Amino acid sequence: MLKTLNQNAERWALLVFYVMLVVTMAIEVIRREVFAYSSIWGEEIVRYSFIYLAWIGAASAVRERAHIRIDVILHYLGPRAKALVYIFGDLVMFVVALIALYWSFETVTVSWKFGSVSHGLRVSMVWFLMAVPIGFTLMIIRLIQSFLDDIHALRTGEPVFEGNKMFD
């Protein structure tokens, strides 16, 4: 069960938020064009679904090594040197994610302290602002997994996982 969750957690979350975004947007377009009426809650659901999509998608991209990178030099390196480069990249990204996670909680705590709510849904903004810390937490978990896989590849001399190629 943990293996399935590890492989598909982000995919299911992305699917839920994407469907919520598309269905709400379709309903709002129909309401606006057919009934000449729109609601503020529809815009908010679409906006916050998109925010969650972005942050969970970023964590999924870390797992798949799908973030944009320039890897021309990596083609000339051996398996161990590639593993070292990826380990260094994971460590740098890990430090940045930790700093961003720390500072993203400040926004959430301020919103919690003052009890701010969204304009249309009248829901606590904490639920929407938590997208950033959740995204960075997922990224940190995926970076740790990637780091451990890279250490294993470095020790055994196996090729490091470089992600799936888009245009090969």
Q: What is the pLDDT of residue 126?
A: 93
* Residue 162 belongs to some domain of the structure: no
Answer whether residue 64 is part of any domain: yes
Residue 69 domain flag: yes
- In a domain? residue 87: yes
Q: Judge whether 164 lies within some domain.
A: no
Locate 52 and state its tokens.
Answer: 């969650």
Distance CA 65, CA 89 (A): 11
pLDDT in tens, the chain (168 residues): 677 777 788 889 999 999 999 999 999 999 999 998 888 888 899 999 999 999 999 998 898 888 877 778 888 888 888 889 999 999 999 999 999 999 999 999 999 999 999 888 888 999 999 999 999 999 999 999 999 999 998 899 888 888 876 565
> Is residue 167 assigned to a domain?
no
Per the structure, the count of domains in the chain is 1
What's the whole-model pTM score? Answer: 0.85
> Do the domain assignments include residue 71?
yes
pLDDT at 166: 58
- Tell me the residue range of the domain where 31 lies: 2-156
* Contact residues for 119 (Cβ-Cβ < 8 A; gap 6+): 40, 44
Residue-level pLDDT at 1: 63
Residue 88 lies in a domain: yes
* pLDDT recorded at residue 168: 52
